[in-house]
Structure 1
Amino acid sequence: MSEIIPLTQAGAVIMACWAIISGIGAWKREFIGKRQIELAEQVLAKFFEIKDAIAMIRSPFSNLDEGKTRKRGDYELPEVSQLLDRGYIVFERYSKKETVFADFMMLKYRFMASFGAEAEQVFVDTSAVLNSIFVSAQMLGTHYWQRQGRVSMEPDEFAQHLAEMRQHERIYWDHGSEDDEVRMKLTSIQERLDALVKPCFQEPMRTYNFLTKQWGQRRLG
């Protein structure tokens, strides 16, 4: 009978060692769940694609052909068409990357089901960033650029006009500054996304400690 107890203890040691030797990756997938890890990786990868897509959309460098696909009004003046086309550039660029944003949004409800309802804010805020670019493009093309140098304004009115126009241009274009509003918002979203999925990639020490503790207690007993 005394020989059976050491054999039981030895079996527990072998099982614990096997779990470690089999690799942290396999251990994580077994304990946390392969699906959750893969979903986290998928959402992260898509978000990185979105950051790249937004950087491309906001690039201040363009060619003369961009914006020309916009449908023109019957009585548009050439100088107005030029300004409206300039504002339309971001919409053209978005259309080339639309599937990236669609794929990301398709993961929304699966991600919420796996990581909690608060995960929805990541998707809401990402859409808000994109929409802010569209709004600024629309306002610049239809209002601010058309008034600039063409409409007589009082000094105070012009100062306000200029400040508002510059604010929209900071959203519309990415000039690479450290305080770029759009990039700062995307960084904030990424940090929150990282925090949500972080538990998936942490060491499963609690379970390991539980197993070794149980084995230690049996050994002392």
Structure 2
Amino acid sequence: MTLSAEWVTAAGTAMAGLATLIAGWAAVRGVDAWRSEIVGRRKAELAEDVLAQFCHARDVLIWARLPDRPLAPAPDGDDPDERHRSHASPIERLTQESALFSELQASRYRFMAYFGEDAANPFEQMRAIHGEVMSAAEALIRDPNEQASDADRDRWEDAIGWVDDGDDALARRLAETIAAVEHVCRPLIADQRPRLGKMKA
């Protein structure tokens, strides 16, 4: 049986159409893979930047809460000016690094866009810790004659770092905040680095 010219032409057209369809499908798959690679890279870069910001903020808060006071009282009694400087020290130190905390909070919404609303929790915790240190220092400055209750003053002094390491609840919260960010960021950073190495190779 001999195929007519029409059948041959139709078969050729069908094969050409199938080839075009396959090529189009491959192109779409290629674009999807490229898009996925770009998004993955952006997520990893954002994760690395945000984790670095959190670690920097942690170190600043640790520094801000280092007690700026003598280890023992002066022989002639407590110096009000020295006490005032000690209470003001956390505010001065945190104010010096105010740009860092502003940049950290500015990253919050980009982070949420990639990682979901729950990813905002560490940002809220960091802002709360920063606010507690500032508020406690301000409260101590406003109470130079120690008219506030012992419980209030103890709470304020704990917040600015005048507390034994074993009893430092704020330091534990800070460590938990960093751990929460690392839980999100480190797997992405670790996953992206081998890919970048292959691309360079």
* TM-score above 0.5: yes
- In percent, how many aligned pairs have the same letter? 24
Q: State the Cα deviation string for residues 152-204 of structure 1 (Å, max 9, x = none).
A: xxxxxxxx922321221111125561331221111111222122235525669
Q: 1:104 and 1:177 mapped to 2: Cα distance?
A: 26
Distance 1:122 1:165, change over 3 A: same
Task: Report whether the alignment pairs 1:61 with 2:68.
Answer: yes
**Which residue of the other structure, out of 50, 65, 80, is the alignment partner of 2:57?**
50
Q: Is the 8 A contact 1:83 1:146 kept in 2?
A: no
**Which residue of the other structure, out of 179, 182, 197, is the alignment partner of 2:167?**
179
Corresponding residue for 1:21? Answer: none
Task: Report whether the alignment pairs 1:161 with 2:168.
Answer: no
Distance 1:94 1:203, change over 3 A: closer
The number of aligned residues is 149
Task: Report whether the alignment pairs 1:123 with 2:126.
Answer: no
Which of these two proteins has the greater Rg computed from alpha carbons? 2
Distance 1:147 1:35, change over 3 A: same
TM-score (norm 1): 0.58
Q: State the Cα deviation string for residues 115-134 of structure 1 (Å, max 9, x = none).
A: 00111121111100010011
Unaligned runs of 5+ in 1: 1-28, 64-78, 149-159, 205-221
Corresponding residue for 2:137? Answer: 137
Q: Is the 8 A contact 1:58 1:90 kept in 2?
A: yes
Unaligned runs of 5+ in 2: 1-35, 71-78, 193-201
Superposition RMSD in Å? 2.8
Q: Is the 8 A contact 2:44 2:188 kept in 1?
A: yes
Corresponding residue for 1:100? Answer: 100
Task: Report whether the alignment pairs 1:195 with 2:183.
Answer: yes
Q: State the Cα deviation string for residues 27-78 of structure 1 (Å, max 9, x = none).
A: xx94861100010011111100001100111111369xxxxxxxxxxxxxxx
Q: 1:104 and 1:39 mapped to 2: Cα distance?
A: 12
Q: 2:105 and 2:137 mapped to 1: Cα distance?
A: 23
Q: 1:82 and 1:120 mapped to 2: Cα distance?
A: 39
